């Protein structure tokens, strides 16, 4: 299984600021996915990040609000820009393993005041 | 559509079996998954089943898939207090490098 490390594990931020979340994987992976889990809710896909190309965003998510970098096959960042309390969520990074396997990081719990 | 439906709550006594049910709508789903989320933690992949299988067993966990009815279940034998968590059902249409569609999760409470 892939080992996925996310930083920060949690943070409290002020409204209007931005926060960058890092995702590091212990093996090279083609695609990485970023999800959001709002309080008491299920997971919603934000975007798919391929190395060497722009991320593909799902409906309701835009690059200006959630810019993503994917500089190599083991690392990605997600920035939550100009935060508001509605952005308070857990943000999770996910990668594929063998056929059918999809693993998640521990998540980054963000609280916006 | 790609809806995945689960009941929200389940309560069982320690030592009993738990059965968590899930229905999905996408008949082209390739893999179906069960994830466990403990309080304050990320998602742990418990098990997954390929769509051409109808059963998969792994220690205390048994997954049953009825592709005709688009119904997936997770049975936990001899449920323990450590099994208390939220269990998410999810589906994928790809080979493992495609994103998942999740249900809302079933909160399992185990009563000692």
For position B72, what pLDDT does the model report? 96
Residues 6+ apart with CB under 8 A from A90: A36, A37, A107, A108, A109, A110, B42
pLDDT band per the 50, 70, 90 thresholds, residue B12: very high
Please, what sign has the CA dihedral across residues B14, B110, A2, B2?
positive
Quote the CA–CA distance of A65 and A57 in Å, as a whole number.
Answer: 11
Scanning every residue of chain B, which has its alpha carbon at the shortest distance from the alpha carbon of A108? B42
Quote the CA–CA distance of B18 and B28 in Å, as a whole number.
Answer: 28
* Residue B1 pLDDT > 60: no
pLDDT band per the 50, 70, 90 thresholds, residue B96: low
pLDDT band per the 50, 70, 90 thresholds, residue B30: confident
Q: Please, what is the average pLDDT of chain A? A: 93
pLDDT band per the 50, 70, 90 thresholds, residue B94: low
Quote the CA–CA distance of B54 and B68 in Å, as a whole number.
Answer: 11
Residue A89's closest CA among A35, A41, A38, A16? A38
Distance of alpha carbon A52 from its chain centroid, rounded? Answer: 17
> Residue B96 is nearest to which of A102, A105, A107, comparing CB atoms?
A102
Better pLDDT: A44 or B29? A44
Name the minimum distance, in Å, from the CA of A82 to any CA of chain B. 25
User: What DSSP character marks residue B81?
Assistant: G
* Residue B67 pLDDT > 60: yes
* Residue A1 pLDDT > 80: no
Question: What is the share, in percent, of chain B residues with pLDDT greater than 90?
Answer: 72
* Residue A81 pLDDT > 90: yes
Q: Please, what is the average pLDDT of chain B? A: 91
Q: What is the mean pLDDT of residues B6-27?
A: 94
For position B100, what pLDDT does the model report? 87
CB atoms B31 and A100 under 8 Å: yes
Name the minimum distance, in Å, from the CA of A31 to any CA of chain B. 6
Q: What is the mean pLDDT of residues B21-32?
A: 87
For residue A106, what are its two tokens? Answer: 């521990």
Residue B14's closest CA among B107, B89, B76? B76
- Write out pLDDT tens, residues A19-28: 999 999 999 9
- Reported as half-sphere exposure (CB side, CA atoms, 13 A), residue A72 has a value of 8
> Residue A98 is nearest to which of B43, B96, B100, comparing CB atoms?
B96
Scanning every residue of chain B, which has its alpha carbon at the shortest distance from the alpha carbon of A93? B42
Residue of B42, B50, B103 best to disrupt the A interface, most CBs of A under 10 A: B42
Listed range (A63-67, B29-33, B90-94) with the worst mean pLDDT: B90-94
């Amino acid at each position: 299984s892939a080992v996925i490390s996310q930083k920060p594990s949690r943070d409290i931020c002020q409204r209007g600021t931005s926060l960058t979340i890092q995702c590091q994987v212990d093996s090279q992976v083609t695609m990485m996915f970023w999800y959001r889990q709002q309080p008491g809710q299920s997971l919603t896909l934000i975007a798919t990040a391929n190395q060497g190309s722009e991320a593909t965003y799902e409906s309701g998510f835009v690059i200006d609000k959630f810019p993503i970098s994917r500089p190599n096959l083991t690392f990605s960042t997600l920035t939550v820009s100009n935060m508001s309390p509605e952005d308070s969520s857990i943000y999770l990074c996910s990668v594929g393993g063998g056929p059918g396997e999809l693993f998640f990081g521990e998540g980054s719990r963000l609280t916006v005041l | 559509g790609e809806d995945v439906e689960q009941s929200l709550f389940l309560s069982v006594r320690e030592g009993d079996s738990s059965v968590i049910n899930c229905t999905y709508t996408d008949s082209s789903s390739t893999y179906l998954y069960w994830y466990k989320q403990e309080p304050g933690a990320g998602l742990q992949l418990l098990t997954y089943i390929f769509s051409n299988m109808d059963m998969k067993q792994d220690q205390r966990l048994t997954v049953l898939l009825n592709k005709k009815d688009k119904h997936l279940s997770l049975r936990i034998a001899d449920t323990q207090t450590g099994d208390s968590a939220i269990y998410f059902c999810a589906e994928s249409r790809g080979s493992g490098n495609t994103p998942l569609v999740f249900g809302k999760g079933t909160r399992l409470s185990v009563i000692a």
